[in-house]
Structure 1
């Protein structure tokens, strides 16, 4: 069984691989930055199971044995594009979503889909889409997060504070 200190190290490694700051991860998981910092440093004394699993879920880890194996079998861009196309006349493809995330531009006719992605997609799905885009485009995840922030601001996303 892993200790909280070992879990904190895994979280830090994963957060950094995703190009997330402690502040952004804290916002995504609805925690304080200090909580994330203390967890990563191994100095946290008490953290509820619910808060820990919510944080881990956002970055694609679980408590079975923190591993990316299950995450890597998922197609995050495809899942995100499908989630973003519910009830819209035109479906956004995973390639169009990838391009939007990589370029920071809104595809013509897909403003509603992209806004739905930013405001309604489950946070772990957004993180997966960002990670896959960065891998496929061979850029740092932080670059994609910057573009997500631009898209959120441009489209007036309700959750734009998460993406800033």
Structure 2
């Protein structure tokens, strides 16, 4: 895949997910300029090696051979909810996570679970959960990302800068 095609794929997937260039850059630990240059089709981007490109694509649910087929078979909300429950007695269900993402409201007693979800879950789990919640709730991913920002303002410590 050439850089132009890669950039177009990244732009399309980023837009589908309702991510800004700035948020995607934070999630992939790249500069916004690097994302911009990639999407603009710049042939050579000094900050974008194979490892950085692989991480960027992973956040978007893609690989160097883009295909969403495997990703669509995964249960993103379930995986993210299980991950958020790993250190806690109470089970945070996929349905509870979906509602929290859709409403920016956390069920009483599950505030730590949301904090764990935002601060500790692999970023691709968060992206899958947002995408799946948007689909189930018949909302745009951008609306769900707005709720992620709201949730992060109250419940995120380690990754607050990514979400806010």
The TM-score with structure 1 as length reference comes to 0.96
Q: Any conservation in 2 of the 1:119–1:158 contact (CA below 8 Å)?
A: yes
Cα RMSD (Å): 0.9
Q: Any conservation in 2 of the 1:35–1:44 contact (CA below 8 Å)?
A: no
C-alpha separation in 1, matches of 2:156 and 2:4: 39
Q: Any conservation in 1 of the 2:119–2:156 contact (CA below 8 Å)?
A: no
CA offset digits 1:18-43 (Å, max 9, x no partner): 00000000000000000000001111
* Paired position in structure 1 for 2:15: 16
Matched, 1:152 2:152: yes
CA offset digits 1:32-85 (Å, max 9, x no partner): 00000000111141320000000000010001x211111101000000000000
C-alpha separation in 2, matches of 1:44 and 1:100: 41
Return closer, same or farther for 1:122/1:17 CA change in 2, 3 Å cut-off: same
> Counterparts of 1:95-114 in structure 2 under 5 Å?
95-114=95-114
SS in 2 for 1:43: coil
Structure 1 residue 156: Cα displacement: 4.2
Q: Any conservation in 2 of the 1:84–1:113 contact (CA below 8 Å)?
A: yes
User: Once structures 1 and 2 are overlaid, which stretch shifts more, 133-142 or 44-53?
Assistant: 44-53
Q: Any conservation in 2 of the 1:78–1:93 contact (CA below 8 Å)?
A: yes
> Counterparts of 1:12-161 in structure 2 under 5 Å?
12-46=11-45, 47-63=48-64, 65-161=65-161
C-alpha separation in 2, matches of 1:162 and 1:44: 28
How many equivalent pairs are there? 162
Structure 1 residue 106: Cα displacement: 1.2
Structure 1 residue 87: Cα displacement: 2.2
Structure 1 residue 155: Cα displacement: 1.8
Return closer, same or farther for 1:106/1:142 CA change in 2, 3 Å cut-off: same
Structure 1 residue 157: Cα displacement: 2.7
Ranges of 4+ aligned residues in structure 1 off by more than 6 Å: none
Q: Which runs of 5+ in 2 are unaligned?
A: none
Q: Which runs of 5+ in 1 are unaligned?
A: none
C-alpha separation in 1, matches of 2:104 and 2:60: 22
